[in-house]
């Protein structure tokens, strides 16, 4: 069966100069043709309708599916839940499809071997049970347990379980994961990091620096050993640090490192996002949600992973009664809108930082992340009119040629 879709081309999406500004005025058209799980043809045209010179009002914008390399939980589900099962993971995937995310790396944070092993197993089992989940989970992200024990850099990782890198332990998780661990975040100042990084990288795992208080030389050594990413740069850090040098400047300046950032407006102020963007450039920056279970739920008080938290109407997740962040409630699609607003880039370019770029950075750039013939048919259709108001309303999500949410509009054959 061949699926044909017509929509507004991403290149036509403005939204750079303030939301609602440039909007989708130009309305260039895009056609995609899907056979099986692949995009077999993609064409772009100047305008859609010869008589009016515009795409019809109801025509959606068509964009690559979003790729989230760091997400713990969503919509009440969390892979770090002590009771996590394959069903938790499948339900999380399904909830994410409704928000335009087609690929993600479920992210497991610091815990005992057994707790982390349970999470890893649940994810592997979910992938075995449902091929859509297997396609959507492009890898597991182990964030920890080899991270800093210092207050601040440690973030919410329990002090009791942070430890030095242990490749044998890691290999046991990798076996339980059936080879699915794709990213590991560690603090390079920990004993044995360089050897660990070399082994992990040569086994095909991407190494990220994060939750760290490392010196300049430790960061350099990690890069030389093969680390290529920074995890949520600017967060998982001390509240007060030496002005320079410090681990933020060092990572910011390293061209070998691409940085993930949480653009929810709470984790980093808009000026920092803009400055990181200027320093890193769009080739070395990607957006993550770093969301936890309360993401996607209504504002209120919740107990999650044994902690009492409050989700405020502005989308901040606080430890109840404090100003401390207890994770993010960001949906990646909103991160894209925020990024466009904070930096002034067009929405189409911002979208690439949450689709094309993360796919490339984990070695999947030829497989997914853009609307290119030969790639897996992962795309979303969004309401173009709502977009002009800065809202990403998902009409349909297609994963590997299969509709996993909504109804693709006219054009299905």
In the complex, least distance from residue 210 CB atom to Zn ion, rounded to whole angstroms: 6
In the complex, least distance from residue 206 CB atom to Zn ion, rounded to whole angstroms: 16
Element (H, E) at 300: strand 300-304
> Radius of gyration of the chain from Cα atoms?
21
Interactions with Zn ion, residue window 266-305 (CB under 5 A): none
Q: What is the DSSP string of 4-44?
A: EEEEE-GGG----SSTTSSTT-S--EEEEEEETTEEEEEEE
Nearer to Zn ion, 102 or 109 (CB): 109
Interactions with Zn ion, residue window 73-102 (CB under 5 A): none
CA–CA separation, 248 and 258 (whole Å): 13
In the complex, least distance from residue 180 CB atom to Zn ion, rounded to whole angstroms: 20
In the complex, least distance from residue 119 CB atom to Zn ion, rounded to whole angstroms: 15
Nearer to Zn ion, 66 or 326 (CB): 326
Nearer to Zn ion, 90 or 142 (CB): 142
Nearer to Zn ion, 286 or 379 (CB): 286
Return the C-alpha torsion angle 100, 101, 103, 107, nearest 10.
-170
In the complex, least distance from residue 251 CB atom to Zn ion, rounded to whole angstroms: 14
Return the C-alpha torsion angle 287, 372, 360, 272, nearest 10.
-30
In the complex, least distance from residue 143 CB atom to Zn ion, rounded to whole angstroms: 5
Nearer to Zn ion, 60 or 236 (CB): 236
For residue 76, how many other CB atoms are within 10 A of its CB? 17
Nearer to Zn ion, 33 or 331 (CB): 331
Count of residues that interact with Zn ion, criterion CB under 5 A: 1
Interactions with Zn ion, residue window 223-262 (CB under 5 A): 236
In the complex, least distance from residue 95 CB atom to Zn ion, rounded to whole angstroms: 21
Residue nearest to Zn ion according to CB distances in the complex: 236
Contacts of 320 (CB under 8 A, 6+ apart): 301, 307, 308, 309, 310
Binding mask 156-175 for Zn ion (x = CB under 5 A): --------------------
Nearer to Zn ion, 147 or 381 (CB): 147
Contacts of 20 (CB under 8 A, 6+ apart): 388, 389, 390
Nearer to Zn ion, 307 or 372 (CB): 307
Return the C-alpha torsion angle 37, 357, 77, 135, nearest 10.
20
Contacts of 278 (CB under 8 A, 6+ apart): none
Which has the closest alpha carbon to 55: 23, 27, 25, 33?
A: 27
Q: Please identify which residue in the block is written with the tokens 């992210």.
A: 107
In the complex, least distance from residue 184 CB atom to Zn ion, rounded to whole angstroms: 13
Binding positions for Zn ion, rule: CB under 5 A: 236
């Amino acid at each position: 069966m061949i699926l044909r879709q017509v929509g507004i081309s991403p290149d036509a999406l403005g939204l750079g100069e303030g939301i609602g500004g440039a909007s989708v005025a130009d309305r260039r058209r895009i056609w995609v043709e899907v056979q099986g799980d692949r995009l077999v043809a993609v064409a772009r045209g100047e305008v859609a309708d010869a008589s009016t010179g515009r795409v019809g009002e109801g025509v959606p914008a068509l964009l690559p599916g979003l790729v989230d390399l760091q997400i713990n939980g969503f919509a009440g589900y969390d892979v770090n839940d002590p009771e996590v099962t394959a069903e938790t993971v499948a339900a999380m995937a399904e909830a994410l499809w409704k928000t335009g995310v087609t690929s993600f790396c479920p992210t497991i944070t610091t815990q005992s071997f057994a707790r982390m092993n349970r999470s890893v197993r649940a994810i592997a089992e979910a992938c075995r049970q449902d091929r859509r989940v297997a396609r959507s989970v492009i890898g597991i992200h182990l964030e920890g347990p080899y991270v800093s024990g210092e207050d601040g850099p440690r973030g919410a990782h329990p002090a009791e379980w942070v430890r030095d890198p242990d490749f044998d332990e890691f290999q046991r998780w990798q076996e339980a994961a059936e080879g699915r661990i794709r990213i590991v975040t560690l603090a390079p100042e920990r004993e044995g990091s360089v050897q660990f990084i070399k082994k992990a990288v040569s086994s095909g795992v991407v190494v990220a620096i994060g939750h760290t208080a490392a010196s300049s030389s430790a960061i350099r050594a990690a890069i030389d050993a093969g680390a290529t990413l920074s995890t949520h740069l600017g967060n998982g850090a001390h509240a007060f640090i030496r002005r320079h040098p410090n681990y933020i400047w060092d990572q910011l300046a390293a061209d070998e490192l691409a940085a993930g950032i949480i653009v929810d407006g709470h984790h980093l102020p808009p000026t920092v996002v803009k400055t990181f963007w200027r320093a890193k450039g769009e080739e070395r920056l990607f957006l993550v949600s770093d969301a936890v279970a309360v993401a996607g739920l209504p504002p209120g008080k919740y107990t999650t992973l044994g902690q009492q938290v409050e989700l405020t109407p502005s989308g901040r997740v606080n430890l109840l009664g404090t100003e401390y962040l207890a994770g993010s409630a960001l949906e990646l699609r909103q991160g894209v809108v925020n990024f466009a607003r904070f930096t002034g880039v067009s929405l189409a370019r911002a979208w690439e930082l949450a689709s094309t770029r993360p796919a490339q950075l984990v070695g999947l750039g030829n497989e997914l992340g853009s609307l290119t013939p030969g790639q897996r048919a992962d795309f979303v259709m969004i309401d173009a009119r709502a977009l002009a108001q800065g809202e990403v309303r998902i009409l349909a999500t297609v994963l590997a040629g299969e509709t996993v949410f909504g109804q693709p509009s006219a054009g299905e054959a």
